[in-house]
Structure formats: structure tokens, C-alpha cells
Structure 1
Amino acid sequence: MGTDRLSILFVASEVEGLIKSGGLADVAKALPQALDSMGQDVRVTLPGYRKIKALQDADIVLETQLEHWPHTPYRVRQLAVGEVKVYAIECDQYFAREEMYSEYNQAYADNGERFAFFSAACLDMLPKLNFQPDIIHANDWHTGFVPYLLKHRYAEHPYFARTRSVISIHNAVFKGVFSYEELPNLAEMQGHYAPDAAVSPTHITMLKAGVMTADKINAVSPTYADELKTELGSHGMAKEFRAREHDLVGILNGCDYSDWNPATDGFIPTQYHAELSSMQAGKLACKRELQKRVKLPESEAAVFGMVCRLTNQKGVHYLLPILERFLKLDAQLVIVGTGDPILATQLAEIAAHHSDKFAFVEAYSNELAHLVEAGSDFFLMPSEFEPCGLNQIYSMAYGTLPIVRAVGGLKDSVVDYDSDPDNATGFAFIHPEPIELLSVMQRALLFYLQQRDEMTKVQLFAMQKQFCWKRAADEYLALYRSALS
């Protein structure tokens, strides 16, 4: 591996520390920071949403307009996340709104146009800022037109002669499907012909545009990379991912433990670390506090925790059919989350009938999420699909054994006790069936009741697992170098 320094532009629709709605933002903060600490020249760009608090005071480093039709005026403001430079692309007609993507559960009608503009401006600004990246790293559908425009619009442009592109797939469910009419600001779409992006005679998807034109494609775990080549795992793009399989690589995300570490966590009543008496005392104090907070009886019963968006993706529909049966057992369940109102209503009704064993908190609460991670014995993640997932990694750090469906990043990060007791960090089931979930929850409960010493050993082993960003960043650098060669 050469040690030569690479210039990298990381393009994302959200960045933790500035604005966030999901896991993509965590990666957009942590990966550039890891690359920066390894001596790479990495810079990040995102839309200059009005919602970003730091935006108003940030320096304007460029005031210009697109060189290409329709010559939209825009400004670039320079911010920072840690040591990393961030370029926010400001254009009031697209980004001076209350939210990033939607309001009142309705996506903005011009999202295609907004992110097409953002993709065009990302490339347009580079010669003007005199930043010449070796690698442009796009993420998810919002930035799918970045590799596309690099390949088509800038194919002959000398400034970009050496620039290569990578696109990361964090969640292929969201594809950015738009009609040609919805992209009035992209000259390339005006002929109603874009084979690299088209999904029908009238519509394109921005994710396909990126996947078919990027030099390399990456999925956020090795198993997810394999799943993208299947009909079920790709949500309808298996053909495209198979066509590019030689350029498709899975890299498991790292984890930023700065917020999720039981030894320094300010949200929990007692901090603890990976040593027997510390862990046992700490987890017990956190369990008591959790039971008190959600009004469950103080007891020695095993506590199963779950913090998630209430969606079928997170496997709530596997849990609901077996919930009443599970609640007959000697265990407690705490679920914290918001999302689908129908799922929320069903959970609330069951919780009302079993208030001695099941607490459902319909809220997004960071503080409560930390308490659930620390005070539970098991953490449920029975996801239908999970490209990478972070909560299973946080759970291990807190000595809380994850119960997962063996898909995507969950399969790559959690070792099932029955399959490999010596290296186990949790429990896993395979088939997407409610009865399979019930069976693995019963397995975990028996383990808690009958093999407490063994369980303690597994908890301490799980706490010592490290999913660090340095390892992931090394793999990304290797991917970048393969794109350049």
C-alpha cells in the first residue's frame, strides 16, 4: 500500500454534528474523521439547509452560479466537524426550508430537483475552490447523480481527468425514483433518455444512476453486499448490483464509541466497565433505574430492551404476533420508539394489558435509549433487513446481549451462542418468522435463568469487542486505491 496522501471529497445529505436524521449522518462524520487522522486530505460537502444552526455565522468561501444550464446561483459556506472541513452548498430555493427531506410525513415534491442540483453543485464548485479530489465518495440516492455527472457531463473535463468515484449504499430501499419531468434542472434528462439511470420509459432512479456509473460501489457490511445481489435484499435492483458485482465491496461500519461507552456515559446512574464486579454492580443499578423510569416492578427478571423506529424493517411485525405468548414468561420488556402509528397503537394496547411486564414508551429519547442499553440484559433487533446497524454494537459495549436476525451487518457483527459458544456475543435467528423470534427469545431467557455464570462470561467478552473506525477506514483507503488503479 502506498502511503501517498489522497484528496477525498465525501458527499452526503446529512452529517452528524451539523444535522442528522439517521445512521448515514454518523458515517458522514466518523469516516472522514478517521481518514483525516490517518493523514488524508478529506473534505465533506452537504446541502446548506436552513436548519443547520452553525450556517448563518459560517464564512462564505464562494459565491457563484452553475457553469452549466440552468446556471442556478449558489453560495458555499465553510464549516468544520472536528478537524474536517465541510462545504455547505447554500441555495435558498432548495434548502431554505423547515426540514431536510419532508414535512408532516410528506416528502417535498421537488426532492428530485433539489438533490439533482446538489449533485451538480458539488462538482461545479471544485475547480472554483481549487480542490481537486482523487476520489469523490457519494452516499445513497441523494448523491447518485454525482458519479453520473462525473462520467457524463465531465467526461472530457481536464480538471477531473484523474478523479474517480465511489458510492456507498446505506439503505437500498430508498432509491430516489423520479420522472424526467421532475428533473427540469438537469440538461442530461431533457432528452428523456438516460439508460444508466432509467427504470421505465418515463422514470429514473438516482440510486441506479450512481450504481451504474461509479467506479466502485460499497455496501455498509459484507453480508449486505451479498444481499444486494438478491431480489429480496436489493428491493428490485438485483440486476444492476449483479452487473457490477466485481466492483462491489462490503465494508462493515466502525462505531464511534465517544457517546456510547458505559465507563463515561453521563445518561446512566452508575458507570461501569468490562470487569466482573464493576459490570454486575453497574448493570444492576441501571436495571433498577430503568424499571423505575418506565414503571415496571423492581425484580430480578430478565429485561429485554428495544429502541428503534417502529417500522416493519425493524421487525416489529415479527414481535407483535408472539408478544402475548412471550409475556406469559418470567421476563420484562421495554420498547422505546416512534414511527408507524398503527404499530404504536398495537404496542400500546398490549402494554396496557400487561403493565406489570411490558412498558412501551412512544418517544424519541436519547437519554432513555442509553438507559435501555445499560439496564437491559438483552437487546432486540429482529430486523427484516439491516445494512449495518449500530445498536447491536452499542449493546455489546454495554454488556447487553443482542438478539438479532442474521441479516446484513447484524450477521457480520453478532456471534450466536449456540453456534459458537467460545466466541459468542449474543443470539441470532435466521428465518423471518414470528415463531423463530419467540424461540430465540426463549433460548436467551433460559440462558439467563440457568447459566448465569456462563452468561456473565459472554457479556464480558462482548464488552471487549471493538468495531473501530480505523479498521473500516483502512478498508476504504484500499477501495479508493483500487478505484484509482
Structure 2
Amino acid sequence: MMLDRNLKVLLVGAEVVPFAKTGGLADVMGSLPKALTAMGNDARIVLPRYQGIDDLTTVADFPVKMGNRMETCIVRQANVEAKLPEGGTKNVPVYFIDSYHYFDREGIYCHFDDAERFAFFDAAVLEMLKRISFQPDVIHCNDWQSGMIPFLLQERYSPQDSFYNRISTIFTVHNLLYQGNYDPDFMRVLGIGSEYFSPNSLEFYGQVSFMKAGLVYGDVINTVSKRYAQEIQTSEYGLGFEGLLRKRSQDLHGIVNGINYHEFNPETDPRIFRAYNSRSIQDKYENKFSLQKEMDLPVRDVPVIGLVSRLVDQKGLDIIAEMVDEMLQEDIQFVVLGEGDRYYEEMFAGIRDRYPHKIGLYLGYNGILAQRIYAGADMFLMPSKFEPCGLGQLISLRYGTVPIVRATGGLADTIVDYNMETNSGNGFSFEPYDSAVLLETVKRALRLYRDYPERWRGLVVSGMENDFSWNRSAAEYLELYDLAISKHARGCRIA
């Protein structure tokens, strides 16, 4: 049920668009608070202040105890009027935890002291609340970097200060692969007693785990699709946490991410060649022809398949490698944008050399080109080995580019396989992680494109009219916040 009162929510994460981004977490953190605020809630954001983030105002400073020393935390606030994604009428306060010792350096992750850095961040977030006079109903923690907050709130802050007693937590897993597991010596830095180094608390295969802290101590847990919430309770996808997640299955939920419909709008997107909507779908062809020119491909009305991805195993590139030569025997073009593992970068470079008139390749990150691929391609390839939610398939639907996906995680929750008999669905999907099945699925899409143009047009238009905006997802999060508040009030904890 929906709440009959407005909520105060603090969303905590290591990345927020447009301040810092390496993946989809940043998009969520940049859009969900805006949608919550537009619904009348007091939603605020906090993240570390990394190098290069400027135009900030100092609002507080205080010491945070880290082992046998005190580290200074400076809380700064952003001038967000022109910073957060557009949409809604109110600004979202954005706070930054600043520390010259921990965050005044290049890069977000992969530092030798990441355990200390994010432990400091988590403790500083809780210390910050009284300094800025903000007592949230819910702290919404995201991924391992904020995983210690539910633990610290329950075991350190609530027993000592009634200010913290009524604050509930939810912990969102965006990708279980990244866990924040560290040597147990780290516990001394945060002042954690050895009694918490146990299977029922923070210990995870001989290490201290930020991820486990969030999974054990969060009032409610969720991940970014209903299918992924089921998958991570199995040995195949649980990565060692499946037993704990099954134990907490009643508290484990799935909410599919939305996308920012103001940013991803083919009617107004300045990055694409020609604006269009579901009523002027013929203008999409101009984007295809312009994309072909930009990628040095022959300009002709041929099916164009797009791939915008990190070039890593998770994204199904191994099964693409097994079938790509046969796929390129078809009268198609293949446009690839991405960066990642050197093996896959070299693989795609080799494919381009073999098929120079059929494949366009850009190795690296290029946000403008990504949008032009979403707008100019006819089909979007996303055969992930696993995919907690996925944004590519949602963006491609918005731009009238038909997704071809493997039915896993959020891809299974959002893409319904096209059924020729009922003329229904919004894309093409397959389940076995197999290159032959992927190839046949691509061929099914090509047959519909070539032999049934009116049905193809209907598939494109219906996909553009799907609603995967943040308004829908935000409404589900409000219900989840209500559940966390109720559960916290009852004092429910796992055994």
C-alpha cells in the first residue's frame, strides 16, 4: 500500500550522475531521488566527494574515529539546480562526504585502502545526520560501499543515541558480483569487536564483507529485478550468499530500475541526428543512414544490429564470438561500442578487419555515439550471462530499437519474447546460454523485419510506448520504504 504521509529518505551510494559514474548505480542514484521528490517526499543524496567535483558549499565538519586516530570529515552541498537530471519542479539536496586523506585522489575505486575509505564514508554519513538536522525515515543504501551503514546503525549508533532509533534501512544489491570483502584486520580501524567476526554477522569465508553487512543488518533487502532476486538465491548466481538470501527471502524484493524519460527521449535528444516519436517512426531511418555514415559503413536500407556494452564476460560476448561469423553471413550491419577486457577489444577489432563493410567499431566510451546507436540501429543485442537489471534494453525500447536479449535477471522481467501467432511481445529473448540459440533468435528477428514489415513497425511502436520511467519504479520503492519502516518498528531481525 502507498503511504498516507510524505517520507524523508536519504539515498547513499558511491556514484551519482552527473558527479561520478562507472555503471548503472550512478543512473539510479541520479534519477530515483528526483522521482521521489516529485511525488512530494523529502529525498536527499549523499556520496563521497571525489577529485574534480566542484561548485560546493561547506555545511559541516567534524571528526570521525578511525582506529587510534581521528579523521576530519567535511560535509559539502552541491549547487544542484542545473546538475541533476531534469524533470520535476524541486531540487534534490546532494551532500558530499569530503576527506583529504581518503577521497582527494584520482579514481573512484581500486585503491589499496578502499575498505578504510568506505568505512569512513559509512560512519561519516551517520555522523552527518545530526549536523545537518536531518532525521530520515529511511536510509536507502546501495551496493557494498554503503553496506556497513545498517550494521553501524543497529550496533553502534542506535544503542547510544535515541536520535537513530527510529531510522530504518533498505539495502539494494545492484550487482552481487562486487562484494567489498577485506582482511579481518580491517575491523580494528572501524572499532568493530571480534564478536562480530562470525558467520551470523560480518564474516564471509574468512573475510569481513561490506555486502554481507548490508544483507544481514538491512531491515529490507532488494535488488533491481524480480528475476534477479530469485536467481541470487541459487548456487549458480548467489556467489556464496545464496544461503543467507534464502534465509532472508521474506525480506528480499525486486524492483526493476527505470530510465530518465527526460534524458532518453528521441523527440528532444540533441545527441541524435533527427528527432522522432512513435508517430513519426519513419524519421528513425535518417538516424540509421547518418549512423552508417559516421561508422564508415555503406549507406543502405539493411538491418543494423547495435551493441553498446562493457566488453566483459558477463555481457555474453563469448557466445557472440562463437556465432558472429555466421551472423555476418546475413545481409546486415553490426555496430559495436564498448571498452573492457583486452581480449574482447582485440576480438572485435579482428572481426572488423574481416568484415570492414559490415561492422562499425568504436573502442572506448562515447556517450553521444551510444545515443546515436540506440536511435539508429534496428535491433539491440544484449545476450548477458547474467544481468541484475540492465538499462540498455530499456533505452533501446524508448528509441524504437528492438531488443534481442537472454532471459535472465532484469532482461527477463522487461522483455517479452515476440510471439508470431498472437503478434505480441516487445522484443526477442532466449534462455539457454548457447550461441546456436542466440543465432536462431537473431534470425527470427531478421525474418520478422524482412518478411513482415507492418508487424515489425507495430513491434517498434509498441515498444516505444512501454512505460519504464522512474515514476513507476519510485512508486514501488515507496511501498518498500513503508515495509522497512514497519519492520523496523516491530524490531524484526534475522536469527
TMscore range, shorter length: over 0.9
Structure 2 distance, partners of 1:240, 1:232, is 14
Structure 1 distance, partners of 2:420, 2:175, is 28
Structure 2 distance, partners of 1:222, 1:422, is 26
2:60 matched to which residue of 1?
Answer: 62
Listed as ranges, the gaps of 5+ residues in structure 2 are 85-90, 487-495
2:72 matched to which residue of 1?
Answer: 73
Counterpart secondary structure, 1:480: helix
Aligned 8 A contact 2:327 2:439 in 1: yes
Offset at 1:236? Answer: 2.3
Q: Does 2:7 align with 1:6?
A: yes
Matches within 5 A, 1:331-350: 331-350=332-351
Aligned 8 A contact 1:141 1:175 in 2: yes
1:86 matched to which residue of 2?
Answer: 94
Q: Does 2:191 align with 1:187?
A: yes
Aligned 8 A contact 1:219 1:251 in 2: yes
Structure 1 distance, partners of 2:477, 2:191, is 33
Matches within 5 A, 1:427-438: 427-438=428-439
Structure 2 distance, partners of 1:443, 1:141, is 40
2:492 matched to which residue of 1?
Answer: none
TM-score (norm 2): 0.93
Alignment: residue pair count: 473
Structure 2 distance, partners of 1:374, 1:51, is 31
Structure 2 distance, partners of 1:271, 1:140, is 36
1:104 matched to which residue of 2?
Answer: none
2:31 matched to which residue of 1?
Answer: 30
Offset at 1:192? Answer: 7.4
Structure 2 distance, partners of 1:445, 1:236, is 40
Offset at 1:239? Answer: 0.9
Structure 2 distance, partners of 1:421, 1:30, is 36
Structure 2 distance, partners of 1:124, 1:421, is 57
Aligned 8 A contact 2:428 2:441 in 1: yes
1:172 matched to which residue of 2?
Answer: 176
Q: Does 2:214 align with 1:210?
A: yes
Offset at 1:451? Answer: 1.0
Structure 2 distance, partners of 1:403, 1:177, is 35
Offset at 1:78? Answer: 1.1
Offset at 1:422? Answer: 4.0
Structure 2 distance, partners of 1:379, 1:35, is 30
User: After superposition, what is the alpha-carbon deviation per residue over 1:54-110, rounded to whole angstroms, capped at 9, x for unaligned?
Assistant: 2xx422111111267543211100113541111101111100001111xxxxx2111
Aligned 8 A contact 2:66 2:190 in 1: no
Structure 1 distance, partners of 2:197, 2:107, is 32
Q: Does 2:326 align with 1:321?
A: no
263-272 or 80-89, which deviates more: 80-89
Q: What residue identity is the alignment partner of 1:463? A: M
Cα pair distance change 1:444/1:175, threshold 3 Å: same
Structure 1 distance, partners of 2:421, 2:284, is 25
166-175 or 221-230, which deviates more: 221-230
Aligned 8 A contact 1:309 1:338 in 2: yes
Offset at 1:448? Answer: 1.1
Structure 1 distance, partners of 2:66, 2:172, is 26
1:117 matched to which residue of 2?
Answer: 120
Identity within the alignment, %: 38
Offset at 1:50? Answer: 1.8
Aligned 8 A contact 2:378 2:401 in 1: yes
1:15 matched to which residue of 2?
Answer: 16
Counterpart secondary structure, 1:308: strand
Counterpart secondary structure, 1:431: coil
Counterpart secondary structure, 2:123: helix
1:155 matched to which residue of 2?
Answer: 158
Structure 2 distance, partners of 1:170, 1:343, is 24
Counterpart secondary structure, 2:185: helix
Q: Does 2:267 align with 1:249?
A: no
2:105 matched to which residue of 1?
Answer: 97
Offset at 1:200? Answer: 2.6
Cα pair distance change 1:308/1:483, threshold 3 Å: same
Structure 1 distance, partners of 2:482, 2:420, is 37
468-477 or 138-147, which deviates more: 468-477
2:136 matched to which residue of 1?
Answer: 133
Offset at 1:193? Answer: 2.2
187-196 or 409-418, which deviates more: 187-196
Aligned 8 A contact 1:255 1:390 in 2: yes
Structure 2 distance, partners of 1:336, 1:2, is 43
Bigger relative contact order (CA 8 A; separation at least 6): 2
User: After superposition, what is the alpha-carbon deviation per residue over 1:316-375, rounded to whole angstroms, capped at 9, x for unaligned?
Assistant: 111001111111111111111111011110111111011111222212111111111111
Structure 2 distance, partners of 1:341, 1:144, is 31
Structure 1 distance, partners of 2:131, 2:277, is 50
Counterpart secondary structure, 2:158: coil
Aligned 8 A contact 2:196 2:203 in 1: no
Structure 2 distance, partners of 1:96, 1:358, is 42
Cα pair distance change 1:113/1:190, threshold 3 Å: farther
Counterpart secondary structure, 1:71: strand
